[in-house]
Structures are given as C-alpha cells and as structure tokens.
Amino acid sequence: MMELQTLVEKLKLDYLSDSLDTLCEQASKKDLGYREFLHTALSSEWAGRHQKGLESRLKQARLPWVKSLEQFDYSFQPSVDKKVMRELSGLGFIERAENVVLLGPPGVGKTHLAIALAVKAAEAGHRIMFLSLEKLMTTLKKAQQENRLERQMQLLVYPKLLVLDEIGYLPMNREEASLFFRLVTRRYEKASTILTSNKSFSDWGEIFGDQVIATAILDRLLHHATTVNIKGESYRLKEKRKAGLINSKK
C-alpha cells in the first residue's frame, strides 16, 4: 500500500493533508469510531474546499462592499416586503433564470439588497459578477473598439447572477443602448440579472434615449422578474441626521 500521506496528496485532498495529523490525534483522544473518523476527515476536506471556492467566487465578483440581508433594517424601510426578500434569498429565481429589479431613490438600500443576494448566491456555489452600469459600458465599448466584443459578451453571459447597479444615473447614447440590449438578450432565460435604478420604468425610454429599444429591453428583463419598489427615506440621510442630533447635544 502507498503511504497514507502520499495517498492523500495523490487524491488531491489538500485540506485533509494539512490537518491529517491533528485529526488523527483528536480522533484517538475522543475515541472516535471508524465511521465517525471518516466523516470528520471528509468534512474537513469539504469545508476547506467550500471556503476556498466561496473566496474565489467573491473575489471574481468585484463587489464594491459586502453587506448581508441580516444587516438590512426592515423597520426603517417598510416598503421592502420581508416575505419577498425571504423568497428571493431562497435563490429559486437563480435556478429559474429570473431577474430582480430594485427601484427607488438614492440611499434606500438598493445596492445593499443586490449585494446581499449576490453573496447568498456565491455561498450557494453560483458564479456572480457585480458591475455598475458605467463600468459595464466602458468595458463593452473598450471591447468593441479592440475587436473582442464577442469574447467580452461571453464573459458577461457566463455568471449565473449578474448585478447591474445604478441604471439611470447616466443617459445612454444609441450605441450604448444597443450594447446593453445585446447583453440582456444574451442572458434572457439563461441566467439571472439584478438591476438597480433610481428611475421608474416609465422613464427608461429617456435613459436609453429611444423608446423602441427601451421597450424591447424591458420586455425581456421583466418577462420573468420580481420588482421591488422601495419608497422611503435615504438611510444615509437618517444616519447623518442621527449624527447631527448627537452633535447638537454636545
């Protein structure tokens, strides 16, 4: 028989390989049964791999910051339906390649909720990617100029979840709207997209500079989609106001 350590390395059980001695020691101390020991050993390999996979998925995602659903204060933003968010965090929408649109004024938590769902998806093993609309546009236009648009499109179609943040802050010209349309069409019914916007759907014609293309984009995006309309105060302003109160008491 091969040496145990060699065997573990040949089988590429890297995490088990690192912890083998400790695990064996603990097992004999705790007087573990064969079955329990095998279970503990394989669990440690699994946990290591899962953690590494998650870290790499989160790194590739390029999230601007990380927040969780647990950190979202629903009492401050009652227009966000807890039940809808709980349903979304079950990630069925990703299995079904459906979209999520988060609408509302600045500071109400659109990016927070989008990031929290993306982290949940990464934890569940899905590939995720986060891009502001501005970043998406510069990326696509650069790729087009350099004659590698198709390759870039493939990279953007690949993630099971793509977050496109801040639609509507910058108006698009025809060329940009058409690139956006191509991306939406490619992902349609294949993979999920979460979009955030400060503009209501009726204003999307203005964003895309063309009512016809805006309608075509919305048609695909909203065919299978959950829309969360957030109406309320900015959390950033609330925090500033709170800070103000504290200052005035000094």
Binding residues (CB under 6 A) for ligand ADP: these are 67, 71-73, 76-77, 104, 106-112, 196, 235-236
Closest CB to ligand ADP among residues 72, 181: 72
Closest CB to ligand ADP among residues 72, 188: 72
Binding site for Mg ion (CB under 5 A): 111
Closest CB to ligand ADP among residues 223, 236: 236
- The residue of the chain with the least Cβ separation from ligand ADP equals 109
To the nearest whole angstrom, how small is the minimum distance from the Cβ of residue 237 to ligand ADP?
10
To the nearest whole angstrom, how small is the minimum distance from the Cβ of residue 14 to Mg ion?
39
The binder of 201, among ligand ADP, Mg ion, none, by C-beta within 5 to 8 A per type, is: none
To the nearest whole angstrom, how small is the minimum distance from the Cβ of residue 77 to ligand ADP?
4
The binder of 112, among Mg ion, ligand ADP, none, by C-beta within 5 to 8 A per type, is: ligand ADP
To the nearest whole angstrom, how small is the minimum distance from the Cβ of residue 242 to ligand ADP?
12
Q: If you search the block for the tokens 């198709």, which residue do you land on? A: 150
CB 180 within 8 A of CB 208: yes
Sign of CA dihedral 139, 145, 146, 151: positive
Classified as helix, coil or strand, 164 is strand
Closest CB to ligand ADP among residues 17, 109: 109
Report DSSP state, residue 231. -
What do you get for the CA distance between the two ends of the chain, in Å? Answer: 75
CB 129 within 8 A of CB 162: yes
Closest CB to ligand ADP among residues 167, 191: 167
| Residue 152 CA to its chain's centroid (Å) | 19
Closest CB to ligand ADP among residues 159, 168: 168
Q: Which residues contact 152 (CB under 8 A, 6 or more apart)?
A: 139, 140, 143
The binder of 73, among ligand ADP, Mg ion, none, by C-beta within 5 to 8 A per type, is: ligand ADP
* Cα(228)–Cα(209) distance, integer angstroms: 24
To the nearest whole angstrom, how small is the minimum distance from the Cβ of residue 232 to ligand ADP?
8
Question: Considering only CA atoms, which of 218, 115, 119 is closest in space to residue 168?
Answer: 218
- The amino acid occupying position 189 is E
